[in-house]
Structure 1
Amino acid sequence: MGGRGAAAALLVVTLTAACADSSDSSSSPSPSTTDASTSTLDPAALDGRSYASTSVEGAELAEGTTIEVGFDGDTMSVWTGCNTAFGPFEVDGTTLAWTSEPAATMMMCDPDFLEQDRWLTDLFRSGVDATVEGDALTLQADGVTIELETDTSDDLDSLLGRTWTAIGTVSDGAVSRLPVDTRRPRLDVGADGLSRLFTGCRSGRVTVQVEDQALVFSNVTLQRGRCTGPAGQTERAVLALLDGASDNAELHDHLLVVTRGGEGLFFEVR
């Protein structure tokens, strides 16, 4: 992966904070102290890492699922086991919450997964108490305790042979939802890199290659036609990305952020 650009992954995700030694009475609390009475998280520190759940108490996850939480700039993304929700967030003391209704993917899920989507999304709407210690993140709310550990980036070669569905655009470190009432762009990437492309408006082809820690896009061809309005806006964002090597590409399990020149796309990968 190239150096972190304006939008090092998500998504997909990250929290970092240091704990002041509460036994040292001679030092005043730092902005990242975890002392019970003065505990705070510095929002500026919540950028660039991702976490995956290792245990959940007070609730039972759907079989075979985990929870993933990620931060990129002012965006928090949460993978609930079937769908991904993301939106702007804030920190108030140690309380972490979305500041507005999150955008979300709309995958068809079994009832157990849909229920998990619902309660986890509600949890982060209302706010969770967050504690960071080393590589561990603990989230608590409504009698539920979620323990998570740092989730490292996956090998980009694993992207070949999978389908990438764009669920948001990236600009200057912020992830935004796609325009309302537009179809989601998609790349059906072959094992050899030869891929079917849908820009949100037109269909076509593109070649995807992995070189070192970058994704390289070439040979874009599109069916004839002209895209206007929100669909045209989405297509322009797609074509701007699929023109040469990425500046940054980071994959965490099923969440992928790719940027070029400070702009890019946030994908869900299946």
Structure 2
Amino acid sequence: MNPVELACVVLPLTALLYGMLGMRVRQERRWWGRFVTRRIAALVVDPYHAAAGRRPLGDDVQAAAARLLLDGLVTVTRRGNLALTAAGSDPGAGAGHPVPDALLAALRRRTAPASLGNVHARDAELRAAREEFHTACRNRLRSRLPAKPGRAGRPAAWAVWATLAVIVGTALALVGTDPHGPAEGAAATATWFAVPVQIGCLVRYGRLRDDARREALLSEGRSRNAPHPALAELAARDPETADRLRVSRGRTRRRRNRGRPRRSGASAGS
């Protein structure tokens, strides 16, 4: 195909795709500002769900440990090992929330003090309890999302497929070109540069269809940069313990059999 003719087709088509994308982005922002921002202002999100994955400021696991420390159910050593107190060893004691209670149960299954990072990495029951809790929270938030603009509440699927077809068609047409002269060379070069532009357009369309991003923004709400209340309270009441807890969250390796569950045969032999 003649490179000049191909460029005359591909470049306006690429501009049209980006114009359509701009309209969708503008519509998306208006929808988000009009509906979802109001929902965020009135939305009550569980603080442990809002803290999930927020490692720099302390995630939900670290917040759960802070809650247990504040309630006097565990202590943390200078090495960052969590140990049960006499109150924490009582099977009837609890923090009254699924995440701290799951962490407390995990510590009770240990035979020696262990770091928070190690418990989180190696205790499958703790991870399962956290996932169950966060799944329930995500489902509740998803049910509160208003319908998105466009057909079936999603950006038009045909726009994604049309963009993909343009990318494939442009690439195949470029393979069959044989530019001669500066005019055809410049046209072929411009057409080649249009391909990554089209790919970027396809990626942006994909982001418009990303429900997880919207749910994450709903989870964070207005307290996006605020630490969990238990972590803030612990830092204000006992900064040294809060520092130890941060160290404990970062330690995942197990040393000197710290908290390793003993086998029944080894216990009987000892």
> By the TM > 0.5 criterion, same fold?
no
| Larger helix percent | 2
Structure of higher CA gyration radius = 2
| Larger strand percent | 1
What is the TM-score of this pair, normalised by structure 1?
0.20
